[in-house]
A and B are shown apart, each in its own frame.
Chain A
């Protein structure tokens, strides 16, 4: 089980002080948070991608490479990579490049995650969001798996005898997750390719997450990748904790009430009841997180959103300290009752091993 954090890189005023961090502060804060994530023993740090204010989340590969140079162990990922508006040729190059630089310590999560006005800046149309995600990803896979690609499609200029460089590290492409909140087509896409499926989880009720994950698992089995409970599932989550749960509620409430996504809407109490948001003691966060399995099944990756809504860096780092304290219990809880045939999330090492085993099987088949 991988446990980590993801950051969308929003620049939001702290509602308790009215102070908005500068872009520079926020960019450096994201790096500090990623390094802290490794320090407390988390497995994954993922950054979002946005091309409009109030975000500092453009150029994610520069961010990940910079973090990667200052960390040793943590897997670096995206949440999400904009497969709709980014040229798949650039994604193929950029992520193969950091895969080499980081010795395979990288994977990606594809998402459409954009608002209408952003698409035309990149020559695209939001109404084609699903079709773009499907065609661009189909091309991306070929660019990584085939050395020379000739391709013609609907959304970009044709390629003739094109080789994407560098080639993926050890001939194995980075593992890909597909993120979607409510589009069954994306769960279908993840299942078809045997890729991971990540549900954002934090904005919507659990019943909805269960429905999306259920569809993905069922279609994973349908496409012959194995039993439904071996599908590769990731979930988002968010919490705010203090040792005393009432302190957590009091401190977090102004951030919640003014948060860009759900602020000025449901009450903190309603939202915590309706969605996975947990505001309380470390024990409450631990128990709530371990309960996600009840509707998503045993899964592979849990990412929390911590640095958002204007929370100052100091507070985010304190949240990470508290998460570090309950991390051993969380890992123990996730391991409890987990069937042995439920796989871990693929890593570069496991994908290389699988590719080597597959080659050996083919060679063995040829010999006999």
Chain B
């Protein structure tokens, strides 16, 4: 079963960000199924986690629903990340979620980036804010990003739908079960704290490394 998590950071209920997230989720589900893989799409909305995110920044640990959301993202085979734009780059709430993720969690993970804004003049947010963010997190961002301004939702030319379908197909192609990558393993992952608990490094090795040229 391929697991896809759609993270969205809209604030109003309903928000155009969630609307776009829903369309992307459905498109990804269709695209992955079309390639013959069983798929489950889950949504993580950040609005109800806003207080927990602030707490987590200050206390250093996540709990409750936020911990569950982080675990969901960590387990996902692919991510769809959708942010609203208020003052130029991605929203603070959206960024905070990725700030509290442990380093390495998204290593090698396919990600589809998307954004909504009140004006098309924010459209470079995908390339100037989201791609650098996910590059830093070592994720693999699909070539097509989906940006939707207010006029896109009103448009009747189907351009937004086309972009959604195209981006979803690109994401599906990076997932196991896709024709080109059938049986492919996910890329190498960084060493997470959980992994180090499961398989501790022997102290003799730590001693050798300490005197060598490692950084730890």
Contacts and interface: CB of A to CB of B under 8 A. Distances in A.
Tell whether A pairs with B.
yes
Interface of A: 127-132, 134-135, 138, 153-154, 182, 184-185, 187-189, 191-192, 203-205, 208, 211, 215, 219, 223, 262-266, 270-271, 274
Consensus secondary structure, chain A interface: helix
Given A188-B200, A270-B55, 15 more contacts: A127-B215, A128-B216, A131-B214, A153-B211, A184-B197, A185-B206, A192-B203, A203-B59, A219-B200, A223-B203, A265-B55, A265-B59, A266-B58, A270-B63, A274-B61
A131 B209 contact: yes
B63 A131 contact: no
Contacts of A191: 203
Interface string B38-63: 00000000000000001101111101
Given A134-B210, A184-B193, A211-B197, A189 B203 contact: yes
A262 B197 CA distance: 26
A154 B55 CA distance: 39
Contact of B58 (A185, A188, A264, A274): A264
A130 B216 contact: yes
Nearest to A185: B206
Interface in B188-216: 193, 196-197, 200-203, 206-207, 209-212, 214-216
A191 B203 CA distance: 9
A204 B60 contact: yes
A184 B211 contact: no
Contacts of A203: 59-61
A191 B197 CA distance: 14
A215 B200 CA distance: 8
Contacts of B214: 131
B211 A154 contact: yes
A266 B56 CA distance: 8
B197 A128 contact: no
Interface of B: 54-55, 57-61, 63, 193, 196-197, 200-203, 206-207, 209-212, 214-216
A113 to B, nearest CB: 14
A208 to B, nearest CB: 7
Given A265-B55, A274-B63, A185 B215 contact: no
Contacts, number: 75
A154 B60 contact: no
Most-contacted residue by chain A among B60, B214, B216 (CB, 10 A): B216
Contacts of B202: 188
A128 B209 CA distance: 11
A355 B215 CA distance: 37
Given A184-B196, A184-B200, A265-B55, A204 B61 contact: yes
Nearest to A267: B55
B22 to A, nearest CB: 31
Contacts of B200: 184, 187-188, 215, 219
A205 B61 contact: yes
A303 to B, nearest CB: 20
Contact of A262 (B59, B203, B215): B59
Most-contacted residue by chain A among B196, B200, B215 (CB, 10 A): B200
Contacts of B207: 134-135, 138
B161 to A, nearest CB: 42
Nearest to B216: A130
A187 B206 CA distance: 12
30 contacts: A130-B210, A131-B209, A131-B215, A134-B207, A135-B211, A154-B211, A154-B212, A184-B193, A184-B196, A184-B200, A185-B196, A185-B201, A188-B200, A188-B202, A188-B203, A188-B206, A189-B206, A192-B203, A204-B60, A205-B61, A205-B63, A208-B61, A211-B197, A215-B200, A263-B58, A265-B54, A266-B58, A270-B55, A271-B59, A274-B61
Nearest to B58: A265
B71 to A, nearest CB: 12
Contacts of A187: 200
A266 B206 contact: no
